[in-house]
Amino acid sequence: MNTSPFFIKPTPLQVVMFKVAAALVPAIVVYAWSFGIGILVQIALATATALATEAFCLKLRGYPIKPFVTDGSAIVTAWLMALSFPPLAPWWMIVVAAALSISLAKHMYGGLGQNTFNPAMVGFAIMIVSFPAQMSRWAAPLGVAPQSMDWSAQLSWIFSGQLPAGLTFDAVASATPLDTVKTQLMQHASMSNIFHEPLFGMIGGVGTEWITAAYLLGGLYLLWQKLIPWQIPVTFLAVLGGMAGIFHLVDPTHYTSPMFHWFSGAAMLGAFFIVTDPVTGPTTPLGRVIFAALIGLLTYLIRVFGGYPDGVAFAVLIMNLAAPFIDQYTQPAVFGRKGKQKNAGAKS
Amino acid sequence: MNARAELANNFFPFHGGVHPPEHKNESTGTPIVAGPIPKQLVVPLHQSIGNIAKSLVAVGDLVLKGQMIAAADGSVSAAVHAPTSGKVVAVGPQLVPHPSGLLEHCITIESDGEDRWIERNRFDWRNADGRAIRDYLRDMGVVGLGGAVFPSHLKIGGAKEGLDTLVINAAECEPFITCDDMLMRERAVQIVEGIKIVQQLLQARQVLIGVEDNKPEAVDAMRAAIAVCEFPIQVVVVPTLYPSGGAKQLIKLLTNKEVPSGVRSTDLGVQCFNVATIYTIYRAMEHAEPVISRVVTLTGNVERPGNVEALIGTPIDDLLAFAGNKADSDAYIYGGPMMGFEIPGTDVGLSKAGNCIIAKSGALFPPKPVEMPCIRCGKCADACPAELQPMDLYWFGKSKNFGKAQERNLFDCIECGACAYVCPSNIQLVDYFRFSKSEIWSAEKLKKSADQARERHEFRIFREEREKREKAERLAAKAAQKHDAAAASSDPADAERAAKIKAAMERAAAKKVEAAAAQAGADPLTPVDPDAVSVPVSEAVAAPAPEPVVSQLDPEKAERIRLAMEKRAAEKAALDALSPEEKAARDAEKKAKIEAAMAAAAARKAEKAAAQAQQDKSE
Ligand code: SF4
Ligand code: SF4
């Protein structure tokens, strides 16, 4: 027999997931526009692998395949992971990463909703730890590289590691803006010189700054759709920017500005799409703020003082571990139980 | 007036809430109409949260409209009255509008169509004391008509220094339901009269009527009715947001006071009455009319949705026929779509809690999609008016971690369903909470009944021991008496013997107690076998009593005792004369008897347990 409520709001999980995916589309378009077709190939590979792995795991675990494969969660994971990969990474890397992220990070923990770690970040982290060289071979934005790769060259490089005669990957590759700043600073280059390199645009990297702006746009859409709580991106960006701001004020020659930190690397992607992953974060209002703040802090520390150019993925994974504890200690007071003085006063 | 109007829109929003499609317009197009007088009425006797009312009639009795047919049983109960005149044709268990589908006591009345009233005497409530008023309301069967059927008389009186705020719940936040709306539109004056009565009884200093802003006509009607009232009554228009009609939510909205669970709102100086209840209080106080009808919204998949003033006990079938039930209706919701339930059958009689009946069709209520896993999106927590974290409670309920759920305030959940309404994974969260609650309740009940059983058992053992001890003492006293008599014969041998007897008896008694204790300890559930422990007693008693002592007593008694002793001696001799085989056979027979008795007891126990389990399950 049916039980109340007999009404439910028609906001199926699929709709939520596909809206998240839709919010990524502007950034993907800008990405493909400034870096070429590689990112689309990575997304396609990641999506196909993720869905196949999802179906396989569901079958192994005896779950109904159709409703779960079509829930959109695997697609979102795949896209987020592909967007954090170097767009010209060899094809097998994203395939392995996607397979691992779905099987290891998601289904080994019990499937959708049960995973402790953000699956996309797990896939990314495994690969960057295992294959640091390949994972840091980023293509320069089209128009910046001395010699640019057309779409067939990109495809051939991704799938066979071959390039057209006369072209070497080093000629088309470039470090990311975050990486460049980090390594150049270590070589005692001055900040103004670094920023004079053609790689840099107005506030971040050429192309990169537009992509991150597009993430921001998608994020605003998610906020408008009430799919993510505003406290998370705001806190995360505020802490990241605040840290950058303090260091930048103290020593502008060695520390880049908040704007640079916001619009380079995975800051915007993280703020709106990764730190906001509800499954792996705390659910209490206060807990979310603490969570986002600590990720912002860790991201800055890893970026500036750690061993990796970008810190979002590791910061998120570290904090994923802490999420249950944060939840435990930030339980909000329930209706009628806020503060003893209210009740005591009422009793008199 | 202006200042009041300004004040009137002051409210204090509560956390969460949802806004499902209202579906109110369907049933507000026509005025309230009188319902049919059905051929038969099935009047449930459990019309309050307390005990089932005690039937006062028998099959074959003729009853008049308004005649009390069942009296309140205990203080949390309320009386039940004949909704129309006719003949009692059945008294007994029937299907009632309750989600469990359990049978409950009902009185079935065959109406004679005359609808003849019993003689009514107006109650002079102005000159009655609080107790008389409460008894009167109880005997008029006045209970909360908002759905909780809490007896109203329990809410009246008690507050000596007066009540701070009387809150009238007219929010009617559930979709589809419009019975309170229509009642206010059409009978605002009577409602205000009722408010005045309750205000006076409670000595309330302020009265706030909470109405959702989707009922402008009702607001106007109420405002017009209170305009001429000398006492300040405010209509507070609150936003349309489910569940603003929850008593706690409305109190928060109107007074900014949060009533914690386990605390009565009166402790915070607030008392809340549903607007329809106020109306019935008015009818009872001023017209001596018991609660025999109520306005019920008939809506959903019917030809003529609307509001009907229906007699309590009217079979749902008749009401649906009255509203023109459509052929493709597949189920019926009793109450609203957010908190109501599907009725187990349409032959159940309308109860006082029945504010709405919604005919369901596949088009109106599409089947719920499959449940997906919780993604901890927090939408449920955002919607929860009790400010709980439903996804955590869900998790605890699912993993049967009920203690943890209780720790996280599971019992603060008002089962409003707002969380389930918004969940993108279509999780029937409320079901998990109901399940958790019932598990906790039944565990507690089990523990309680086990405690009770243990206590009963311990008490019985204690009593048996005491009785045996007393008996032994009596016997000892008697023996002592005899001993005194023996001493009087100044025969030292007698005295010595008597002392020995006494000692033996004491030893026997001690042994008996020990045996009983050992048995009780070994298996607390096996009843102590009285035979087993009484054996040494009879020996102890039988062994002494030598001739000389008897001779000192009056001859008649002595003769009787002597005969008895002879008989016992003969028995003993016969027993001694038995061959070992015969003895064994006799013992076996005895043992078999004991075993049979024990088996019977065990069977009875098992039967009882099974019955209990059955009952628990069906609850
Ligand atoms: S709304 Fe549903 S999916 Fe979201 S947290 Fe609550 S239970 Fe989980
Ligand atoms: S049903 Fe309970 S948990 Fe769900 S929203 Fe209502 S009060 Fe909160």
Q: What tens digit of pLDDT does each residue of B7-39 get?
A: 446 888 899 999 999 999 999 989 999 999 999
DSSP B151: B
Q: Please tell me the distance in Å from A130's CA to the nearest CA on chain B.
A: 30
Using the 8-state DSSP alphabet, how is residue A174 labeled? E
Whether pLDDT at A307 is above 50: yes
pLDDT cut 70: percent of chain B above it: 81
Q: How far is A333 from chain B (nearest CA, A)?
A: 7
Residue pair B35/B322 in contact by the 8 Å Cβ criterion: yes
d(CA B570, CA B332): 79
Distance, in Å, from the CA atom of A84 to the CA atom of B97, rounded to the nearest integer, reads 58
Confidence band (pLDDT; 50, 70, 90) for B556? confident
Residue B71 exposed, middle or buried by CB count within 10 Å (0-12, 13-18, 19+): middle
Containing B406, the helix (H) or strand (E) segment is helix B402-407
Does the structure show a pLDDT above 80 at B559?
Answer: no
| pLDDT surpasses 60 at B532 | no
Tens digits of residue pLDDT in B394-453: 999 888 888 888 889 999 999 999 999 999 999 999 999 998 998 888 888 888 888 888
Q: Looking at residue B447, what is its pLDDT?
A: 86
Non-local (6+) Cβ contacts of B191 within 8 A are B183, B184, B222, B225, B275, B278, B279, B282
Q: Is the pLDDT of residue B529 over 70?
A: no
Please say whether the beta carbons of B180 and B274 come within 8 A: yes
How confident is the model at residue B4, as a pLDDT?
A: 41
CA atoms within 13 A on the CB side of A84: 30
Q: Retrieve residue B406's tokens.
A: 């209780």
* Pairing verdict, β A173-174 and B86-95: unpaired
- Which of A2, A68, A113 lies closest to B331 in CB terms? A2
Per-residue pLDDT tens digits for B343-363: 888 889 999 999 999 999 988
State yes or no: pLDDT of B528 exceeds 50: no
- Mean per-residue pLDDT over chain B, rounded: 83
Q: Rg of the Cα trace of chain B?
A: 35
Give the tens place of pLDDT for each residue, A288-306.
999 999 999 999 999 998 8
- Residue holding tokens 């109450």? B335
In this structure, how many other beta carbons lie within 10 angstroms of the beta carbon of residue B519? 17
Whole-angstrom distance, CA of residue B376 vs CA of residue A283: 7
Residue entry with tokens 């014969």: B489
| A268-285 confidence digits (pLDDT tens) | 999 999 999 999 999 999
Interatomic CA distance for residues A272 and A274, integer angstroms:
6
DSSP string, B552-616: TS-HHHHHHHHHHHHHHHHHHHHHHHS-HHHHHHHHHHHHHHHHHHHHHHHHHHHHHHHHHHHHH
Question: Quick check: B519 pLDDT over 60?
Answer: no
Instruction: Give B-chain residues touching A343 at CB under 8 angstroms.
Output: 260, 263
Structure tokens, A43 = 């997304």
Residue A94: its pLDDT value, please? 94
The more confidently predicted of residues B517 and B532 is: B517
Highest mean pLDDT range out of A183-187, B169-173, B224-228, B266-270? B169-173
Contact predicate B212/B253, CB 8 Å: no
Sheet of strand B86-95: strand arrangement: B40-44, B103-111, B86-95, B62-63
Q: Which residue's CA is the closest to the ligand 2 atom numbered 1?
A: B415
Residue with tokens 């709709």: A15
pLDDT grade, residue B617 (50/70/90)?
Answer: very low
Confidence class for position A122, pLDDT limits 50, 70, 90: very high
| Ligand 1 atom, smallest distance to B379 CA | 1
The amino acid at residue B404 is K
**Which of B377, B387, B430 has most ligand 1 atoms within 8 Å of its beta carbon, as the pocket-test mutant?**
B377
Q: What letter does residue B76 receive in the DSSP assignment?
A: T
Q: Do B258 and A335 touch (CB under 8 A)?
A: yes
Task: List, for residues A167-177, the tens digit of each pLDDT value.
Answer: 777 766 667 77
Banded model confidence at residue A8, pLDDT cuts 50, 70, 90? confident
Given a cut of 60, whether residue B235 has pLDDT beyond it is yes
CA distances from B89 to A260, B35, B111, B188 (A): 86, 22, 10, 38
Would you say B244 and B236 are in contact if contact means Cβ atoms under 8 Å apart? no
pLDDT at B263 exceeding the cut of 80: yes
Q: Which is more confident, B4 or A337?
A: A337
What integer pLDDT is reported at residue A292 of this predicted model? Answer: 96
CA–CA dist A134, A334 (Å, integer): 51
Provide the 10 A C-beta neighbour count for residue B3: 7
CA distances from B253 to B14, B162, B209, B210, B274 (A): 6, 22, 11, 8, 15
Higher-confidence position of B614 and A128: A128
End-to-end CA distance of chain B: 53
Distance between CA atoms of A281 and A278, rounded to whole angstroms? 5
Which 8-state DSSP code applies to residue B310? Answer: E
User: Average pLDDT, stretch A119-141?
Assistant: 87
Contact predicate A315/A261, CB 8 Å = no
What's the pLDDT score for residue A348?
32
How does residue B578 score in pLDDT terms, banded at 50, 70 and 90? Answer: low
Residues from chain B that touch A283, judged by Cβ atoms under 8 A, are: 376, 378, 381, 389, 391-392
Cβ neighbors of B249 (< 8 A, separation 6 or more) are B14, B17, B243, B385
Position A194: which residue type? I
The burial class, CB within 10 Å (0-12 / 13-18 / 19+), for A347 is exposed
**Which residue's alpha carbon is at the smallest distance from atom 2 of ligand 1?**
B423
Q: Would you say residue B1 has pLDDT above 70? A: no
Tens digit of pLDDT for each residue in A49-97?
Answer: 999 999 999 999 988 888 888 888 999 999 999 999 998 889 999 999 9
What residues are paired with B63 via a beta bridge? Answer: B86
Distances (CA, A) of B259 to A346, B16, B103, B411: 9, 16, 35, 14
- Summarize pLDDT for B61-103 with one digit per residue, the tens: 999 999 999 999 888 889 999 999 999 999 988 888 887 778 8
**Which of A149-158, B169-178, B391-400, B434-443 has the least mean pLDDT?**
A149-158
Written as one letter, the residue type at B84 is T
Average of per-residue pLDDT across B310-331: 92
Helix runs in B96-203, H state only: 130-139, 179-202
Nearest CA to ligand 2 atom 2: B413
Three-class DSSP category at B276 = helix
Tokens linked to B424:
């993108």
Among B423, B387, B17, B418, CA closest to A113 = B423
Residues of B (90-129) whose Cβ lies below 8 Å from A: 99
pLDDT at A341: 39
| Helix/strand/coil for A186 | helix
Residue B358 to residue A2: CA distance in whole angstroms: 14
Q: Is the CB of B98 under 6 A from ligand 1?
A: no
